[in-house]
């Protein structure tokens, strides 16, 4: 099961994307639309009813002295630059999937090109939109374990077109940011230089894009309309020192990056490159792994409770509800259950419990593709559902796209509520067939929406799974420095 949180936040005016609502947009509808930014003019393109501006630089190229440095305002340029192609992705840490599954798994990490010069943003809008329309903005932040990723993998023409079909048009924004060592280099030397968490600064501190937006809904596979994941337990910055040393020892940054553990290695979600604070096993080995990799401050009593909450019985492991099936090793499903809960589900539960006290909060559980052997409803398997294009990912080629997930974001961007709005004809959106109640803190049951196979099946359930185990993990996490 892949837990998701639609912790919908009514964000106040963001200091970004001034050009989207700028009066510089022309009154007529040209075949090749242009925009005027404070640092230069750009020409985009129009496909049908959707215009796009791709590969817009939002900072100076992070090269030379700006490598590993915070983003700086872009340089002025003359003339009209073309904004019709995606910019390069940051150099990627190549996934090293273990050769244990009885089939091959393809993981797209970037589309066309890579370069350290990667700080580009992309904007899609209804071709007829004007500044006075004050359209809401959906900001997509791609995931990839902070090791890889590329906004070009998520073309959004279909997304914006769908918003127009619903009569609730939105603007869609995505961008590339620095990943792996380029964005998350960590050591005492980095702290002393004041260049910590550069990848996050790329996401949230884009100095070129001053704003005048009414509302922006942030959405991402690791972070915003939280497609998957919630706030993670952060470790001290200096604990990244060993990986810093690996880079120093290698000739070339990428040689060093690819010599460090990735998300598919033994260390799993205890990532080498991550935001930080500025084989078979016995039970004893399992607890040693948990303590050394995730819970260095856990007491012996804590670890014994973890062992009891996550037993070695495959029938209790992940993918949940699959009995003794898919036990690649005696501890595979046990570790999968613990890691998924520690990294995703427990933070999700903690997050919604607190956010629902002050904000309207909706949650959903994506159970489509749960029957996938060995993997179940794997992390990010729902991304295809949001973009309305089954060709984006290999896992989506044989799937029916019902737009329910897309509609939820568009509805929220317009109404601060993911439910189908009153007055929408019942044959337009499958969300019209359900009443998606808010996740309410303090109640004995917490409703969420279920995405079920086969699409377009939807259902309702309650966020009550493994309550004691998740509460235990959150208590341990809160005690960590």
Instruction: Indicate the DSSP class of residue 84.
Output: B
What single-letter DSSP state applies at residue 344? Answer: I
CA distance 23 to 464: 49
Answer whether residue 97 shows pLDDT above 80: no
Q: What is the pLDDT of residue 389?
A: 66
Average pLDDT over residues 25-37: 66
Rounded to whole angstroms, the Cα distance separating 429 from 422 reads 12
Tell me if residue 362 falls in helix, strand or coil: strand
Could you tell me which residues come within 8 angstroms of residue 12 by beta carbon, excluding any fewer than 6 positions away?
none
Select from 67, 63, 73, 61 the least CA-distant residue to 190: 67
Top-confidence residue, 328 or 179: 179
pLDDT in tens, 6-29: 322 222 222 233 334 333 444 444
Lowest average pLDDT, out of 25-39, 183-197, 302-316, goes to 25-39
Position 338 scores a pLDDT of 95
Could you give the C-alpha distances from 409 to 347, 424, 436, 448, 449, in angstroms and in order? 22, 15, 13, 15, 14
Q: Share the mean pLDDT of the chain.
A: 79
- pLDDT band at 397; cut points 50, 70, 90: very low
**CA–CA separation, 365 and 86 (whole Å):** 32
CA distances for 75 relative to 121, 200, 207, angstroms? 15, 21, 12
Write the burial class of residue 377 (CB in 10 Å: 0-12 exposed, 13-18 middle, 19+ buried): buried
| Fold topology of 17-212 | Rossmann fold (3.40.50)
Q: Which of 21-30, 203-212, 292-301, 378-387 has the highest mean pLDDT?
A: 292-301
DSSP state of 407: H
Better-predicted residue by pLDDT, 73 or 2: 73
Where in the chain are the domains? 17-212, 281-479
**CATH topology agreement for domains 17-212 and 281-479:** yes
Q: 454 preceded by cis ω (within 30°)?
A: yes
Residue 347 CA to residue 5 CA, distance in Å, equals: 10
Four-CA torsion 108, 114, 118, 122, nearest 10 degrees: -50
Q: What is the dihedral of CA 145, 99, 330, 228, to 10 degrees?
A: 20
- pLDDT surpassing 70 at residue 241: yes
**Which DSSP letter does residue 382 get?**
T
C-beta separation of 384 from 400 below 8 A? no
Q: What is the pLDDT of residues 432-473, one digit of tens each?
A: 999 999 988 656 678 889 999 888 899 998 888 899 999 999
Q: Looking at residues 273-297, what average pLDDT do you find?
A: 79
Q: Which of 248-262, 408-422, 437-451 is predicted with the least confidence, judged by mean pLDDT?
A: 248-262
Find the angle CA(348)-CA(350)-CA(356) to the nearest 5 degrees.
90
Q: Taking the chain, what is the end-to-end CA distance rounded to the nearest angstrom?
A: 30
> Tell me: the pLDDT tens digits for 260-270?
777 666 666 67
For the domain spanning 281-479, the CATH number is 3.40.50.1820
């Amino acid at each position: 099961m892949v837990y998701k949180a639609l912790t919908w936040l009514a964000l106040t005016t963001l200091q970004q994307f001034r050009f989207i609502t700028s009066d510089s947009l022309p009154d007529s509808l040209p075949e090749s639309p242009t925009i005027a930014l404070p640092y230069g003019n750009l020409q985009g393109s129009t496909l049908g009813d959707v215009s796009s501006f791709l590969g817009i630089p939002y900072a100076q190229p992070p090269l030379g002295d700006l490598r590993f440095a915070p983003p700086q305002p872009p340089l002025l340029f003359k003339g009209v630059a073309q904004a019709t192609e995606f910019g390069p992705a940051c150099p990627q840490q190549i996934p090293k999937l273990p050769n244990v599954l009885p089939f091959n798994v393809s993981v797209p990490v970037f589309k066309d090109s890579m370069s350290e010069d990667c700080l580009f943003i992309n904007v899609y809008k209804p071709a007829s939109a004007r500044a006075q329309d004050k359209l809401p903005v959906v900001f997509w932040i791609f995931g990839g374990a902070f090791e890889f990723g590329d906004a070009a993998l998520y073309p959004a023409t279909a997304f914006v077109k769908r918003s127009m079909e619903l009569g609730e048009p939105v603007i869609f924004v995505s961008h590339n940011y620095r990943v792996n060592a380029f964005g998350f280099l960590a050591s005492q030397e980095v702290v002393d230089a004041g260049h910590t968490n550069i990848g996050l600064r790329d996401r949230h501190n884009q100095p070129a894009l001053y704003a005048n937006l009414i509302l922006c809904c942030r959405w991402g596979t690791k972070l915003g309309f939280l497609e998957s994941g919630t706030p993670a337990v952060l470790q001290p910055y200096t604990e990244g020192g060993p990986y810093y040393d690996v880079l120093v020892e290698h000739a070339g940054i990428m040689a060093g990056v690819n010599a460090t553990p990735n998300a598919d290695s033994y260390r799993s979600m205890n990532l080498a490159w991550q935001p930080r604070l500025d084989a078979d096993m016995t039970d004893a080995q399992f607890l040693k792994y948990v303590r050394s990799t995730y819970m260095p401050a856990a007491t012996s009593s804590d670890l014994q409770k973890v062992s009891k909450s996550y037993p070695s019985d495959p029938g209790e492991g992940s993918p949940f509800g699959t009995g003794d099936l898919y036990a690649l090793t005696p501890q595979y499903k046990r570790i999968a259950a613990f890691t998924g809960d520690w990294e995703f589900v427990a933070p999700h539960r903690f997050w919604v419990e607190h956010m629902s006290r002050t904000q309207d909060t909706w949650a959903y559980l994506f159970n489509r593709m749960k029957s996938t052997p060995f993997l179940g409803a794997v992390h990010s398997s729902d991304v295809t559902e949001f973009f309305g294009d089954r060709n984006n990912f290999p896992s989506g080629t044989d799937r029916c796209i019902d737009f329910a997930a897309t509609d939820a974001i568009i509805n929220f961007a317009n109404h601060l509520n993911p439910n189908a709005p009153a007055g929408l004809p019942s044959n337009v959106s499958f969300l019209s067939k359900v009443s998606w109640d808010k996740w309410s803190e303090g109640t004995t049951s917490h409703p969420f929406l279920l995405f079920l196979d086969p699409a377009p099946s939807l259902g309702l359930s309650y966020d009550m799974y493994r309550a004691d185990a998740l509460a235990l993990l959150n208590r341990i996490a809160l005690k960590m420095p």
